[in-house]
Amino acid sequence: MSVQIAISGVSGRMGRALLEAVAADAECALCAAIDRPGSPLAGQDAGAAWGAATGVRVTDQPASALQGAHALIDFTRPDATFDYLDACVAAGVPLVIGTTGFDEAGRARIAAAAGKIPVVFAPNMSVGVNLLMKLAELAAQVLADGYDVEIVEAHHRHKVDAPSGTALGLGQAVARALGRDLADCAVYGREGATGERDPRTIGFATVRGGDIVGDHTLMFAGIGERIELTHKASSRATFAQGALRAARWLQGRAPGLYDMRDVLNLN
């Protein structure tokens, strides 16, 4: 039996990538396509944007759309995600959250909802990026002394949060491995007479421009050598495929807050 997938934010770039991924996945089927209230797409076939009929019409009513769904995949914005989160709790539907930009209170709200339904919440759904996160921990453990840690990320001009959730996730992975608190050691910008670099800091640099899907480089800069771990995404399809993998993995899971490390057995 196919996993019945509901997708929110279908008018967005990731929404379309998810629709295309479901159409190409033999183990999944699209059961609902949801967009923002008052969406001009409401009532249209979800595949109309690229001329491929899906047989599923776009709706702006998530409560009714989730009936019969095995999982909802959400890559929207935090305020919209909370609406979908509440709808999933009410319907008892597992949720995959790829949205980024949540503050501490938002993350706590997701964690509370995960006490009632299973939720996969990850800053990046790419299999490659999550492997990079694991490698970041290993590298930090080996390079604990004498290496300065810097993270450089680049995304398209439309991205609204910075640093990216993935960059922050890399920083958190390194900080955990080094026994540090990222909130205390992160440096998000440098300008003017900053003085010498504090060796305990983790630096972030952000680039925004054009149609860059997502580039991340984690740098360990020592004396006489530099180790760089890099992931470059050339298509949103990689995030969509990872999200579908997470949705399939959620089937039969107990309520709880999971991430892609759980999905990929990287813990």
For residue 123, the model assigns a pLDDT of 82
Is the pLDDT at 260 greater than 90? The verdict is yes
Is 216 a residue of the active site? Answer: no
**Average pLDDT rounded to a whole number, residues 222-228:** 98
The pLDDT, as a whole number, for residue 101 is 87
Domain 127-233 classification at class level: alpha beta
pLDDT score at 267: 81
Rg (CA), the chain: 19
- Determine which one of 159, 216, 231, 232 is catalytic: 159
| Residue 45 CB burial class (10 angstroms; 0-12, 13-18, ≥19) | middle
* pLDDT on residue 48: 82
Query: Biggest alpha carbon distance in the chain?
Result: 62
Angle at 5 between CA 88 and CA 98, to 5 degrees: 65
pLDDT tens profile 43-89: 999 988 777 788 999 999 999 999 999 999 999 999 999 999 999 99
Active site residue 156: no
Q: What is the dihedral of CA 33, 35, 40, 42, to 10 degrees?
A: 40
Cα distance between residue 248 and residue 134, in whole Å: 22
Q: Which CATH architecture has domain 3-125+236-263?
A: 3-Layer(aba) Sandwich (3.40)
Asked if the model's pLDDT at residue 109 lies above 90, the reply is yes
pLDDT tens profile 119-150: 999 988 999 999 999 999 999 999 999 999 99
**Which one from 70, 116, 134, 155 is the annotated catalytic residue?**
155
CA distance linking residue 78 with residue 11, whole number of Å: 16
Instruction: Determine the pLDDT at residue 47.
Output: 87
Tokens of 128: 């490659």
Residues 133-158, buried b or exposed e (16+ Cβ, 10 A)? bebbbebbeebeeebbbbbbbbbeee
What is the band of 176 on the pLDDT scale with cuts at 50, 70, 90? very high
Distance of CA 40 to the CA centre of its chain: 26
Beta strands 148-155 and 202-208 are parallel
pLDDT tens for each residue of 237-254? 999 999 999 999 999 999
Q: What does the domain layout of the chain look like in residue ranges? A: 3-125+236-263, 127-233
Q: Please provide the average confidence, as pLDDT, over all residues in the chain.
A: 95
